Each structure stands twice: as C-alpha cells, then as structure tokens.
Amino acid sequence: MAKICVPVCVSRADELLDAVKRAAEVAGLIELRLDCLDADQLDAALRECAALSKGVSHPLIFTFRPAEQGGKRDITAAERLDFWRRKVSQSAPRDLYDLEFELLAHDDVRQQIPSRQIICSHHDLSRVPPDLDGLYERMRSMSAAILKIAVQADDATDCIPIFELLERARTDGCDLIAIAMGQAGVMTRILGPSRGSYLTYGSLDDESATAPGQITARELRELYRIDQIDRQTRVTGLIGNPVAHSLSPHIHNAAFAQTEMNAVFIPFEVNELEGFIKRMVRPASCEIDWNLRGLSVTAPHKTAVIKHLDWIDPAAKEIGAVNTIVIDGEQLHGYNTDAAAFIETLKARFGSLGNARCAVIGAGGAARALVYGLTREDAAVSVFARNRDKAEKLSELRVAEVRELADSDFEGFDVVINATPLGTLGKLQAKTPATAKQLRGVRLAYDLVYNPLETQFMRAARAAGCEAVGGLEMLIAQAVEQFRLWTDTEPDVDAMRVAAEKELRRA
C-alpha cells in the first residue's frame, strides 16, 4: 500500500489526541504540525506528545516549521533550536523528525538526533528552484534517513522536475519525498508513490489541508485508488484552468473502479498549452515515463488545442472545439463529444427535434456545439446573446436568427437552452439568463450548468410550467463517449451517475 501521511494541525494541546485518533483511521503515518499550536500551548503539547508517541501504533512525524517554509506562524531560529533540544528525548524510536535543511546545519541539533529518524526537508513556496539537482545533492550530505523537497507548481509542466528527481533518487537508493504544491502539482501527490516517493500527504478533510493542493487521504485511497497505481496504470485526465472542482475525476474513476481497470483520471491545471502537449503528451517528445492514454479538454483550451493535434474528427473540426484527445500510437486525435451527448439527452426527453423551435442562450464554445448538433437534427435554431457580434459568428452553422438577450422572451419556442455559466455554483449561482415570465409557454428548458443540481434557471422554468433538465445528464453522456474512445470498453453509466450525484450533494 502507498504510504499516506495525514497532518494534524490544531491550535490547542488538548485537541491533539482526538485529532490523532481521527487521522489514524485513514493514515499510515501521522504528522504532528506543532507549528499550528498557539504559542502558549507548546509546553503542554510536548507533554501530550510524549504520551501519544507511546500510545499510538502509527509512526509520528514531528514538525515545527517556520512560516517561510510553510509553517502556520512566525517562529524564530532560537525557538526552533530550543524546541528540538527539548523534544528529542520524548519520542519512540520509530518516530521521525522533519527538520529543515537549513536547521540541520547546526551541529548541536544534528548530533542530538539519530540520523535514522531525520527527515531533511526544504520547502520553496514560490517556484521550482532552478538548481533542484544541486539542492538534492547538498541535502544528501546531511546523512538524513529521508529527504523531502516540496516546491510550488504554477503549471502542470512544473511537475516534470519532481518526477525526474524521484527517478534519480530511486537510482541512488535514496528515500525521497518529492511534491509539487498547488493545484498544478496534484499529479505528484497521486502518482508520486508509484514513482518511488517515500510517502504522500493527505488531509483529514478539505478544511484541514496544511499545504496548497493537498487532497484528502480518503480521496487518495477511494477516488484515485492510489494503492493500485503502478508504472503500467493507464493515465487519463482533464486539462484546463481551473480544474479543481471538476466532477470528471469522480465520474471516470468510478467507471475505472467498476470495471476493475488499472487506470486513473487526474485533473491537470494547464496554463501554457503548447509546452504541456510537447513535454507531457506527445509520445515523441514526452519527458516523463507514464502510460498516458487520453485527455478531456475544458476551458480555455478547447479551441487552442486543435493546432497541436494530428487528426481531428469532422464534427469537432466544424464545431471548432475539441473536448477529447486520444493518444493513438505516436499521434494525437481530437474529438468533440459534447454535441452528440447533448442531442442524445435532449431527444430522450423531447423526442424528435425535426422542425422544433430551439433557442440557445449564449455564443461561446458550448453554444456552438449545441447549434451544430441541433441544426443536424433539422431544428430551427435561434441564438440569444449579450454580444450580438459574437453570436453572428454562429450564422455559418445555419441558425435561423440571432437576437439580443436583453428583454427577450421565448414565446413560441419549444426548447430553451442555457449555454452560459450563469447559475454555476459560486458568485454566479444566484443568476439566471431567463425568468419564469420569459419562459412561459416553453415546453422544455435545458440548463448545461450541472453544479448545483438545481439552478435558478431550472426553478424559473418550473415556475413557468416547463419541464426542466439540468446539465448532469449531458456531462455523463459525453464522459461515456470519452471512456469508449480511451478504452474501447463500455463504462457502467449508473456508477458514473451515482459518483457524480454523491459529490454534488457533498459539495
């Protein structure tokens, strides 16, 4: 099993025992982040730690980190030295001490602690250091049992040096914990143990993460099935920015688990698309050793990715957007599964779309895919948008008319579709592109927004007497086709839906 260390970060000494018990349910190791304690709680915590060290079966990692290295408060060098001198005699031989590389330069500290119990660590909260190899070599000179290097990733490609360092440590026979922090570094937390990282960190819950990009221990075990990931695991994922709150990992990983497939789906935060495709995707120039099979593509890369592909499905070419990449030998193939998924789910509710009057609200990439699908079903399509010039670009897809959204009503339309982000969880949640008054007489209102499950647009539609459909069904339908493209296998659609609904209700 992959080693997962759960950090415990509480402000009072009397909270430590309960937090450690909770951590022990999901952890292999437990890190006591004593820098989280209020300053007046340290002496009481040291007494508590002595009892915990003897009474807990899990190895403990003691950490007292200053703010500049990712700690929770400012701690002077003198405070740190005094802490470690007092702490050393109070723990069990199996326990570990996470000491910053700079602190270990003090001989009196290093000589008091057996090297077999030392984690020599370095944290860079702003970047990936340019001389990572040199840093690694200097840290090795400290004769610690384990080295830990954590750096800030601002793009998925910042993970490449971390994977390279893990490979070097494996060759050297060195125990190394290597992590890229931040959302862009999440893949190092999931794939790190399969690449030789001594452990990975997982929080107790979303609120108790102690570093940027840290996900929960339960997600590592249950969502990403980290214990089953190895060098042969098929890797798929989502590229975009942002990707942190996507449902796609829940949907696809549930399908992989149900089919008992050795595969994982990971969110990749990508800013610089060209570099990511060249350095991490294209087989001929890929710089990391992984079994990458395919990618889902979301904003802002659906159009920009086209020029980096070797072949594009005709539908995706006409829509002008790719949401799925399949790695086929040395080539990258692009598809758009959005249009077909939308039409499939709409027809399941509405029936034949021939001559149906359909209003699409929005003029972005999602709207373009919908218009493409609807016109091929011989529907009469009108586009409503705030930006008329942008909407006019959809005329090439045989739309019947383009209208300004402001003060419009949808009398006489059979179907109205919201293809804008209005109503999405967060700052847009209270908004709707149409009111109940505007929707009166419409037969069906379809909202592409899937989070929350019930949007303001859907409430307005029901108040107007319309049937209302949310975006979850389309999201699942397009994911089903992606799964087929990547694996040549039929997924368990019910498992995908249950996983998505469970996560939406949790959020």
Q: Which domains does the chain have, with CATH numbers?
A: 4-229 (3.20.20.70), 237-336 (3.40.50.10860), 339-470 (3.40.50.720)
Interatomic CA distance for residues 38 and 463, integer angstroms = 52
Q: What are phi and psi of 254, to 5 degrees?
A: -65, -40
Q: Give pLDDT, residue 28.
A: 94
Which residue of the set 302, 317, 393, 437 is catalytic?
Answer: 302
Q: Give pLDDT, residue 55.
A: 75
Closest by CA position to 7, among listed 74, 86, 65: 65
For residue 502, CA distances in Å to 216, 379, 494, 495 come to 16, 35, 12, 11
What average pLDDT does range 25-30 have in this prediction? 94
427 is catalytic: no
Work out the burial of residue 78: count CB atoms within 10 Å of its CB; fewer than 13 is exposed, 13-18 middle, 19 or more buried: exposed
Q: Give pLDDT, residue 404.
A: 86
Sheet with 176-181: strands ordered across:
176-181, 146-152, 118-124, 96-100, 60-63, 29-33, 4-8, 200-201
pLDDT, tens digit (0-9, with 9 covering 90-100), for 286-304: 999 999 999 999 989 999 9
Interatomic CA distance for residues 125 and 201, integer angstroms = 16
CA 147 to chain centre: 26
Closest by CA position to 310, among listed 331, 295, 293: 331
Both structure tokens of 141? 């000179």
pLDDT, tens digit (0-9, with 9 covering 90-100), for 437-476: 999 999 999 999 999 999 999 999 999 999 999 999 999 9
pLDDT, tens digit (0-9, with 9 covering 90-100), for 205-228: 988 899 999 999 999 999 999 999
Q: Give pLDDT, residue 89.
A: 57
Q: Give pLDDT, residue 85.
A: 77
pLDDT band with cut points at 50, 70 and 90 for residue 91: low
Percent above pLDDT 90 for the chain: 79
pLDDT band with cut points at 50, 70 and 90 for residue 4: very high
